[in-house]
Amino acid sequence: MPDPASVSDTSPRLDPAPSRPGVRLATAFGLGYAPWAPGTAGSLAAVALFALLLYSLEGILLQFFYLFVLAWLIPAAWWSTEHALKQWNTSDPQTIVIDEVVGQWLAYAGTVLASLLGWPAGAGWKSLLAGFILFRGFDVLKPFPIRRSERLGGAAGVVVDDLLAGAYAAAGVLLLTWGGWLK
């Protein structure tokens, strides 16, 4: 009989329901347990939250609240991921989706920057869709240096690749806005 300590288990350890605040946040309050595409579910939650902000506020209030949420979300994602990684025996369990939430949120920096620059287009449903498609594309394809960042280990290996994908997507949204394609 093999020693239980030497057996690698990639499934959740005890109860699949999150029981601690860090795990709850890391799974985006249960979205990480979605039976199909939990990362996409996390991204869609960020799209919905940004849409709420986008259609509720404008100008300096939009920019302030966007930056406030981003400034809170990045360290919260890092902390909750470190906490949640202790619950699973894998380096990047698919149940942790806060990294997709924060990466998707960062993708909308292009929309907020266009607003800050006073560009007339890019703050509507096309911007939401472009940010979502670009982020998911970069997150899946992982162009340089995104794939390499996964080797960092710990929370860095989980969160940094999505931050980079979000930054690439933000640049794409900004370029599409500047080019007038998101009118």
Q: What is the pLDDT of residue 100?
A: 96
pLDDT of 13 strictly over 60: no
99 found inside a domain: yes
Alpha-carbon span 134 to 66, nearest angstrom: 19
Mean pLDDT over residues 117-129, rounded?
80
Nearest to 74 by CA among 141, 166, 173, 138: 166
109 found inside a domain: yes
Nearest to 108 by CA among 39, 38, 43: 43
19 found inside a domain: no
23 found inside a domain: no
pLDDT of 103 strictly over 80: yes
Alpha-carbon span 83 to 92, nearest angstrom: 12
Q: What is the pLDDT of residue 147?
A: 84
3 found inside a domain: no
Least confident window among 25-29, 77-81, 153-157: 153-157
Instruction: State the DSSP H helix or E strand holding residue 74, giving kind and residue range, or none if neither.
Output: helix 59-85
DSSP letter at 8 equals -
Q: Which residue has the higher pLDDT, 112 or 149?
A: 112
pLDDT of 91 strictly over 80: no
Q: What is the pLDDT of residue 120?
A: 65
43 found inside a domain: yes
92 found inside a domain: yes
Nearest to 125 by CA among 179, 60, 58, 50: 50
The single-letter code of the amino acid at 174 is L
pLDDT of 64 strictly over 50: yes
pTM, to two decimals: 0.84
Instruction: State the DSSP H helix or E strand holding residue 147, giving kind and residue range, or none if neither.
Output: helix 146-149
CB 97 within 8 A of CB 27: yes
Q: Domain of 80?
A: 30-178
Question: How many domains, in total, are found in the chain?
Answer: 1
Question: Quick one: 62 exposed, middle or buried, by C-beta within 10 A (0-12, 13-18, 19+)?
Answer: buried
Q: What is each CA distance from 5 to 8, 82, 83, in whole angstroms?
A: 8, 22, 21
Q: Which residue has the higher pLDDT, 6 or 181?
A: 181
144 found inside a domain: yes
